[in-house]
Chains A and B, each alone.
Chain A
Amino acid sequence: SYELTQPPSVSVSPGQTARITCSGHTLPKEHVYWYQQKAGQAPVQVIRKDSERPSGIPERFSGSSSGTTVTLTISGVQAEDEADYYCQSADSSGTCRVFGGGTKLTVL
């Protein structure tokens, strides 16, 4: 089955920039969405359609794409950003959805 690949973990100090990548062969033609999940809570969408920020999401969250890799960037990381982050897209048929394995962001 189709998979999206994320690094298991990323660590940054407060105020630094965190970059979380997501790779998959369908990404040049399928949009990617990013979700933040804090411990014990439901996921929250932080980026839609590769680079759009939903209402209420801080400006420090941004997304970009290049070929088969998309990147979630968190500028000026704050302690409250510590969470698991998941990318999501569609499979090659464009119908079934797929999530990346998730990246644990640790704020040192």
Chain B
Amino acid sequence: QVHLVESGGDMVQPGRSLRLSCAASGFTFIRYTMHWVRQAPGKGLEWVAMMSFDESDKYYADSVKGRFTISRDNSKNTLYLQMNSLRAEDTAVYYCARENIFDSGISNGLDVWGQGTTVTVSS
């Protein structure tokens, strides 16, 4: 079965750092573009970052650019999100999701999601 399992969420003080992990199983991880999406309490989904299957491309939302870093270890089937200089507004459930982008550039969208890990930034 296809699974994504996030971990690493915690309660931290503003200005501190945290690293999230997303362990993939049941599919060929190296073939997929991977994303982080977050959802603040009572709010909608917000796209955070993405990394291509071969690590050649990575993009970030303006709200996290310069503070967050997405990475992956294809040998461990794991996606990461390094979050620095955390702010109260980064408080959210963080989901990882996969995307299959074909050679044509056409995508099937974010077709598998994890259950999320909770990050709380508070003093």
Contacts and interface: CB of A to CB of B under 8 A. Distances in A.
Contacts of A49: 106-109
Contacts of B107: 31, 49
Interface residues of B, number: 24
B55 to A, nearest CB: 15
A65 to B, nearest CB: 14
A99 B59 contact: no
Interface stretch (A10-18, A19-27, A37-45, A73-81): A37-45
Given A31-B107, A35-B45, A43-B95, A97 B113 contact: no
Given A86-B44, A101-B44, A95 B59 contact: yes
Interface string B50-81: 10000001011110000000000000000000
B47 interface: yes
